[in-house]
Amino acid sequence: MNAKIVNKVLPSEEEEEEELVDPAIEIRASCAASRCQQEVADYEGCVKRIEGDETGEKNCAAWLFDMRTCIDHCASETLFSKLK
């Protein structure tokens, strides 16, 4: 096999691969810390309130949904411009 072709297909071990970073993680964290602070606080408050519930009847699904909706909406405004 031609060495040039092999080097293009199989990079040498010396070459470092560029580590891919998901921009959504950083953007969502930024949104949670800025525009969605109230929703995050509401969810965390609910989690603290039901921490001791051993029956499993209580949950924070509504607060989780509100928080995720806020974060996703905020992130969608900038996320797609950062994707390659």
Instruction: Please check the confidence at residue 76 and state whether its pLDDT lies above 60.
Output: yes
The DSSP H or E segment spanning 77 is helix 61-82
Instruction: Please check the confidence at residue 2 and state whether its pLDDT lies above 60.
Output: no
What confidence tier does 56 reach under pLDDT thresholds 50, 70, 90? confident
CA distance 73 to 39: 13
What confidence tier does 20 reach under pLDDT thresholds 50, 70, 90? confident
Residue scoring higher pLDDT (45 or 1): 45
Query: Has domain 21-82 been given CATH number 1.10.3720.10?
Result: no
Collect all residues with Cβ–Cβ distance below 8 Å to 43 and sequence separation of at least 6.
60, 63, 64, 66, 67
Rounded to two decimals, the pTM is: 0.71
